[in-house]
Chains A and B, each alone.
Chain A
Amino acid sequence: MIKTEIVSGKIEPFPSEDSHHNDGAELVFNGRVRSTENGETIRGLFYEHYEGMAEEELQSLAAGTAEKFPISDIFCRHRIGEIPVGESAIHVSIWSEHRAEGLEAMAWFISELKKRVPIWKWAVLENGTKIPSECRHELPTEK
């Protein structure tokens, strides 16, 4: 099964179940917000997305991952909006018969997501100013 979602609230993890009798591996990845961005202390990250296209690309990527690797299920939730330090921005769960293909699928999925799903992060500074993450050292801190 493939399930992807972009959500605006705190991410509820997919359940860890005992009912996958043919899967020996359950892989879970949580991408969490660090307290610094480009060396600066932040209070969180703000994720924006291209509504419609981001959902489509995420679903297509998950489907492509399930075709490329022999996995049983792939689930992904990506959060948007402001995410405080320490909380998850992304949660991925993959089930596979053996660990090797699951681990490979997870690495590929995350790596591809960072290339093609139109989602961007803004650093939220301690004073609340938001700036695109990549621009941190090129721009004034107030705008």
Chain B
Amino acid sequence: MKVIVKCFSQVRYHLGKDELVFHLEEGVTTSDLEEKVREQAGDLLEGVSLRVAVNQKYTPEAVELKDGDEVALIPPVQGG
């Protein structure tokens, strides 16, 4: 299944990309995906807390991903 990860702020800066595309096996969760993204960043996202949104909604608990999901790993927000 195909999942898109949208990158913002520190995630975008460290990975150098606006979005990442993952081809994953069934059963992969948001938590697994976060781990994969952190691996890609080496130690650059160490200490950066990330919240997860799936299809533009925060998901406080890890959830199983589905084909076509849009995931955002959200660093601390800074509006205002």
| Interfacial residues, chain A to chain B (CB-CB below 8 A) | 31, 47-50, 52-54, 56, 78, 89-90, 110, 113-122, 131-135, 139, 143
Contacts and interface: CB of A to CB of B under 8 A. Distances in A.
A78 B78 CA distance: 12
A49 B15 CA distance: 18
Given A52-B56, A119-B80, 15 more contacts: A48-B8, A113-B80, A114-B78, A115-B77, A116-B58, A116-B77, A117-B79, A119-B78, A120-B8, A120-B9, A132-B13, A134-B9, A134-B76, A134-B78, A135-B10
B9 A48 contact: yes
B6 A120 contact: no
Nearest to B53: A53
A132 B79 contact: no
A90 B8 contact: no
A47 B77 CA distance: 11
Contact of A114 (B8, B57, B74, B80): B80
B72 interface: yes
A131 B13 contact: yes
19 contacts: A47-B79, A48-B8, A50-B56, A50-B72, A50-B74, A53-B57, A53-B72, A54-B79, A110-B80, A114-B80, A115-B77, A117-B79, A119-B80, A121-B79, A122-B9, A131-B13, A132-B75, A135-B10, A143-B13
A110 B80 CA distance: 7
Contacts of B53: 50, 53, 118
A114 B77 contact: yes
A70 B26 CA distance: 48
A62 to B, nearest CB: 13
Contacts of A122: 9
